Amino acid sequence: MADACGAARGEVDSLLWDRSIRARAAEVARESALRGARDSAALEGAEVTMEALRAGVDDSPLGRAVTAALDLTAEVPGQVETWQHAPLQVLARLHVVAARSFCAEADLGRPRTDDVVVDPLHIGALPSPSDVPPRLAALADLVTMQTEAPAIVLAAVVHGELLALRPFAWGSGLVARAGVRLVLASRGVDPDLMTAPEAGMFSLGRRSYVDAVRDYQSGDPDGMARWIIWNAGAIGYGATSARG
């Protein structure tokens, strides 16, 4: 696990220290957001080509899901500072941005109160609604506490917990993957958001993704380790793919 996290951090650092990349940092970050949003939407089952994305998506359900991913990813940079002291506020804001075309206004930004959840990955094993608030509170404590744990491990835990909980009726997966970006940026691993961890997740495949999430859900130490290694691989690939 340590080797996997170290290798991923090495890929990110290699990208950030590349002078040719730094010279066009804003362009790389924009492309990262676009690619990340496309691949995050694809993991939800709303897959379009990059060419179609650049041309503009329509107002079909698929198009609205892709737009939600684009809007959500664009929101992340402005939430990095708040994430460090009020992560639950950020999660609520991200859900409002992502789900406004899919949820009733009263449900936007609010944890679910029943078991009616859109689960495009078919993860299964949905926790009780009563478990959601305390587990979100515990996650917020973890995000805001001082820790020597590698940021990639923390990113994996945020990602896994939000996927396992599916705290919102729609869009929890999109929010969970945005959480990875927030951790990497706020912990100084990728402060300019130039990597695209979602690209790595998508490259590993939806089946692999579900298997890895279920490893996290198991609570078994070996399963948790596999989940962290899976995330490290995705983050490392996301850094490599950002080179274009």
In this predicted structure, the answer to whether residue 243 has a pLDDT above a threshold of 90 is: no
Nearby residues of 181 by Cβ (< 8 Å), 6 or more positions away? 36, 73, 76, 190, 193, 197
Q: Any long-range contacts for 144-148 (C-beta under 8 Å, 24+ apart)? A: 144/84, 144/85, 144/87
Distance, CA of 203 to CA of 24 (rounded, Å): 25
* Angle (deg, nearest 10), helices 172-186 and 25-43: 150
pLDDT per residue over 70-86, tens digit each? 999 999 999 999 999 99
Distance, CA of 79 to CA of 92 (rounded, Å): 11
Nearest 5°: the CA angle 209, 210, 216 is 95
Torsion, CA 25, CA 176, CA 41, CA 192, rounded to 10:
0
Distance, CA of 180 to CA of 95 (rounded, Å): 15
In this predicted structure, the answer to whether residue 153 has a pLDDT above a threshold of 90 is: yes
Q: Tokens for 7?
A: 């290798």
In this predicted structure, the answer to whether residue 171 has a pLDDT above a threshold of 90 is: yes
Residue 130's pLDDT band (boundaries 50, 70, 90)?
very high
Q: Tokens for 83?
A: 């994430």
Nearby residues of 95 by Cβ (< 8 Å), 6 or more positions away? 108, 109, 110, 168, 171, 175
In this predicted structure, the answer to whether residue 244 has a pLDDT above a threshold of 80 is: no
**pLDDT value of residue 147:** 87
pTM of the model: 0.96
Note the CATH number of domain 2-241.
Answer: 1.10.3290.10
In this predicted structure, the answer to whether residue 30 has a pLDDT above a threshold of 80 is: yes
Distance, CA of 196 to CA of 32 (rounded, Å): 5
Distance, CA of 8 to CA of 13 (rounded, Å): 9
- Contact indicator for 195, 32 with CB cutoff of 8 Å: yes
Neighbouring CB atoms inside 10 A of 59's CB total 9
In this predicted structure, the answer to whether residue 242 has a pLDDT above a threshold of 80 is: yes
Residue 190's pLDDT band (boundaries 50, 70, 90)?
very high
DSSP assignment letter at 170 = S
